[in-house]
Every structure is written in structure tokens, then in C-alpha cells.
Amino acid sequence: MAQTITEKIFSEHVGHEVYAGEIIRSNIDMVIGNDITTPISISAFELSGATKLANPDGFSIVLDHFIPAKDIASANQAKISRVFAKKHNLKNFFDEKDMGIEHALLPEKGLVVPGDVIIGADSHTCTHGALGTFSTGMGSTDIAFAMISGGNWFKVPESIKVNLSGKPRLHTTGKDIILEIIRRIGVDGALYKTLEFTGSTIEHLNMDDRFSMCNMAIEAGAKSGIVAYDDVTKEFLADKELAREPKIHTSDDEASYCLTLDIDVASLEPVIAYPFLPSNGHSISEAVSDKIKIDQAFIGSCTNGRLGDLKVAAEILEGKKVHEDVRLIVTPATQRILKEAYRLGYMDIIIDAGGVVSNPTCGACLGGYMGILGDGEKAISTTNRNFVGRMGSRTSEVYLANSAVAAASAIAGYITDPR
């Protein structure tokens, strides 16, 4: 019987064919925790009486939300993970010595491999599906169970086939594609489903685009997002020492989908998600007509903090200045990206234009620290959520966009078209 790529990944892990709707127990290749969620998992792990990890090499802790520590509470939170990592001689522990946002850092390190089953106590763990994995967010106690047992229980999700056609226009990116999908189906339109991205557009999308699309699958309620392995994936992984042998899966032509969504990407403009939902999408033409004045532009996060984002920002900012009424904050997703951006001159351009560069962190995205919005302020942001109070004051507003729009808007002082 024909299978989707998601069904095939789970079938390989459980040793027999499985299909959407089945409840299964699967081994897990990589379990991911961060500085906010891991202490809860550690507490549950220790309360269970467990003394060692079932798969130490398949467990990673990335301190990325509040480091360097912003206060005593965050310092103590990080300390719990540091003590645990040292006690268990954890190989995959990342803090200030090798900083990065978890969903950019682990692919960079070769710790995410095609064909994997991955879970993390962070909703945007679905990012890793861009490499042909099944990857999803779970709760901290689910993470503890995986730490103890090496596996977990899953309901195999149905799949929505997202058929993307055409070559994207200039400055129309993976971020715009996923915002358009969410605009069409809503924030619960893919509830406990896999968004499987297919079609002729895929060959025109680099890994940055694919990571962005899979990252925001959760904003449509999806359990996961996935793109099948191809030459683009192969090139991305070529210089990495992979933790495991890749297992390449593709969906069968006759595989069953609960829905097929067709999108003509060739005619798609950049999309702006207005407050207060990622589904409140508007075209850039509408946004320009609405003359939305901004106080802050933010480029970064696990959605759009990669080298390609910094490159396009630098190209737009070169020789120009950030508007006098706007703050531009740029957060590279990893130290490696930061170093490469400096080497290529992107950071000099951004700083000379009036932008400020921070260390890799999730801090601004969730309104944790750095880049907090004040009362009534408006921001254009490359992050993934724009809920009430997401980046600061409950009276502030966040407009989601791609990096080109954010950079161009920082110069203009209002949301503007970068094309």
C-alpha cells in the first residue's frame, strides 16, 4: 500500500509498515532540550529514579533563550542544565562556548539527519523537517520519557500535500509561502497533520527557505512540516560530519493525503502577517497602502536568522541609513553564521547603516530580553508569532515578514516593498 514520506519514516523506525491514524511506539534519533524546558525534564527524569540516559548521543541541550543570563532566575535555570550535562558527560551540550539557536545550531552540527525521528521541548522543533525528518515539539515530561526510554508514543499524522508551483519572484521567500499557507487554512487548519511541501517550486528554494517553511508549520497547528531530500539537501549536508547515516524516503505517487493545497508561487507577493495572528496575512501591496509606521525592525530567530537573511538585509541596507525613528536589531542564529557574516562584510554594512547586532538568542522573539517593545510600539519582525504581547507590551504590535521587507522598512520608517 502506498505511503507518504512521514509514514515511511515511522515504518522504518518501528520495523513494519504503519499508516496515518495508527498509535505507535517509535525510537527517537535526537531529543532536544533548551534552557527553559530542560530543567522540567531533568526533574522528571530524576524523580523517576533513572540514573542514565537511554541514548546519550541522541540527546542535546542548547541554552539559547536567556544566555548570557539576563537575571538570577535565568542563571539558575541554565545552571540546572549545566550540572546535569556535566554529571552525564553529555557530548551535545551547547552554551556560551558554542552559541546558537537550537533549530539552526543542530543542523549546522550535523546532528539532524535525513530520515530521523526528532522531538524537542520547543514547538518550533518542526523546523528540522526541512532535512527530510519527522520532527515535532512535545512537552517536557514527554522529553523526560524519551531521555529514560529512548523512544515515545506517536499517532502517525495524516498529511496535507502542499503543491507549490512556479519560480518565486524577487524577495518572495519561504517565509512568504508559509505565511500564505497559514493565511489560507488558518492557525488550526493543519491540526495534528504533516504539511508536506512538494511541487516544482521546491527546486528553487534554498535550505533557508525550507527551514522557514517547516519552522512555521506549527503556526497552522501542524504536527510537523517536511521537505523530501534532494540535491539542495545533499549540498547543505556535504560539509558536515553527520551523526548517523541518512535514510532517504520519498512519498509514493499514490500516497493518501487528507487535503491537497495548490499555491502558484510565481504570482505570490511578499506576505505580511498583521497582528495578532500569523494567519492575518496581507500582501505587501496592501501593507504599503496602509502606511504602517514602525518603531523597530527585527531580523533573526529560528525562522529567519540564517546567513541568507543577513545577506539580503546587507544588500538592501548598503549605503543607506536606518530611519531616525526606527531601531534595527539583528540576531544571527549561530556563532558560525555571525562569524561568516562578518567575514563577508554583511555585519559592517548593517552596523554602518545604524543596526545593532546581538549574540545568537531567542530572547527578542518571545519577549524575553533584548528588543522588548514598549507601550503602543510597532515592529516589523522576521520571527514566527505575533500574538498579543509576544515581543513586549500587550499594547504593542508585531507584523511578521521576511528579511528583505524588514530591512527595507527599517530604512523607510514604515512597512515598505523591498522590490
Q: What pLDDT digit, counting tens, does each position of 366-382 carry?
A: 888 889 999 999 999 99
Residues 84 and 173 both lie in one domain: yes
Residues 247 and 215 both lie in one domain: yes
H helices within 332-392, ranges in order?
335-343, 346-352
Range of the domain at 315: 271-412
Q: In the structure grid, which three cell numbers stand for residue 413, read together? A: 520608517
Residues 52 and 125 both lie in one domain: yes
Residues 236 and 275 both lie in one domain: no
End-to-end CA gap in the chain: 47
Residues 221 and 298 both lie in one domain: no
Q: Where are the beta strands (DSSP E) in 113-268?
A: 117-120, 134-137, 151-155, 158-165, 193-198, 224-226, 259-264
Q: Say if residue 65's pLDDT is above 90.
A: yes
Mean local confidence (pLDDT), 315-328: 98
CATH of the domain at 165: 3.30.499.10
Does residue 336 fall inside a structural domain? yes
pLDDT value of residue 262: 97
Q: In the structure grid, which three cell numbers stand for residue 102, read together? A: 537550537
Q: Determine the Cα angle at 90 with ends 86 and 95, to 5°.
A: 75
Q: Which amino acid is at 263?
A: I
Residues 103 and 243 both lie in one domain: yes
Q: Say if residue 363's pLDDT is above 90.
A: no
Give residue-wise pLDDT tens across range 30-52. Answer: 999 999 999 999 999 999 999 99
pLDDT value of residue 367: 87
State how many domains the chain has. Answer: 2
Q: Which amino acid is at 218?
A: I
Give whole-number Cα distances, 275 to 36, 396, 399, in Å.
Answer: 26, 9, 6
Q: Say if residue 297's pLDDT is above 90.
A: yes
Q: Are 251 and 4 in contact (CB under 8 A)?
A: yes
Q: Are 189 and 223 in contact (CB under 8 A)?
A: no
Q: Are 148 and 50 in contact (CB under 8 A)?
A: yes
Residues 329 and 196 both lie in one domain: no
Q: Are 8 and 116 in contact (CB under 8 A)?
A: no
pLDDT value of residue 61: 97
pTM: 0.95
Distance in angstroms (rounded) separating the CA atoms of residues 401 and 384: 9
Which residues, listed in sequence order, are joined to residue 283 by a DSSP beta bridge? 271
Give residue-wise pLDDT tens across range 144-197. Answer: 999 999 999 999 999 999 999 999 999 999 999 999 999 999 999 999 999 999
Give residue-wise pLDDT tens across range 106-139. Answer: 999 999 999 999 999 999 999 999 999 999 999 9
Does residue 154 fall inside a structural domain? yes
Mean local confidence (pLDDT), 75-88: 96
Q: In the structure grid, which three cell numbers stand for residue 109, read together? A: 552540527
Which residues, listed in sequence order, are joined to residue 263 by a DSSP beta bridge? 164
Q: How many CB atoms lie within 10 A of CB 27?
A: 17
| Domain end among 228, 263, 298 | 263
Residues 152 and 285 both lie in one domain: no
Does residue 417 fall inside a structural domain? no
Q: Which of 28, 5, 27, 8 is nearest to 16 (CA)?
A: 8
Does residue 418 fall inside a structural domain? no
Does residue 152 fall inside a structural domain? yes
Distance in angstroms (rounded) separating the CA atoms of residues 52 and 62: 19
The backbone torsions φ and ψ at residue 97, rounded to the nearest 5 degrees and listed phi first, read -70, -20
Distance in angstroms (rounded) separating the CA atoms of residues 122 and 41: 12
* Rounded percentage of the chain residues whose pLDDT exceeds 90: 96
Distance in angstroms (rounded) separating the CA atoms of residues 209 and 170: 13
H helices within 93-250, ranges in order?
102-108, 140-149, 174-185, 207-215, 231-237
Residues 187 and 309 both lie in one domain: no
Mean local confidence (pLDDT), 291-306: 96
Mean local confidence (pLDDT), 271-280: 97
Distance in angstroms (rounded) separating the CA atoms of residues 349 and 315: 8
Q: Say if residue 358's pLDDT is above 90.
A: yes
Residues 175 and 310 both lie in one domain: no
Q: Say if residue 312's pLDDT is above 90.
A: yes
Residues 68 and 15 both lie in one domain: yes
Q: For residue 364, name the pLDDT band (cuts at 50, 70, 90).
A: confident
Mean local confidence (pLDDT), 10-34: 97
pLDDT value of residue 44: 96
Provide the b/e sequence for 300-323 (b: ≥16 CB within 10 Å): bbbbbbbbbbbbbbbebbeebebb
pLDDT value of residue 370: 86
Does residue 226 fall inside a structural domain? yes
Q: Which residue has the cell 529512548?
A: 150
Distance in angstroms (rounded) separating the CA atoms of residues 400 and 205: 20
Q: In the structure grid, which three cell numbers stand for residue 168, read together? A: 518565486
Q: Which residue has the cell 529514579?
A: 49
Residues 276 and 207 both lie in one domain: no
The backbone torsions φ and ψ at residue 119, rounded to the nearest 5 degrees and listed phi first, read -130, 155
If phi > 0 it is left, if psi is from -120 to 50 it is alpha, else beta; for residue 369 that is beta
pLDDT value of residue 368: 87
Three-state secondary structure along 272-328? EECCCCCCCEEEHHHHHHHCCECCEEEECHHHHCCHHHHHHHHHHHCCCCCCCCCEE
| Domain end among 263, 282, 313 | 263
Does residue 419 fall inside a structural domain? no
| Domain end among 234, 263, 292 | 263
* Mean pLDDT, rounded, of the chain: 96
Does residue 156 fall inside a structural domain? yes
pLDDT value of residue 369: 87
Q: Which amino acid is at 310?
A: L
Distance in angstroms (rounded) separating the CA atoms of residues 273 and 266: 20
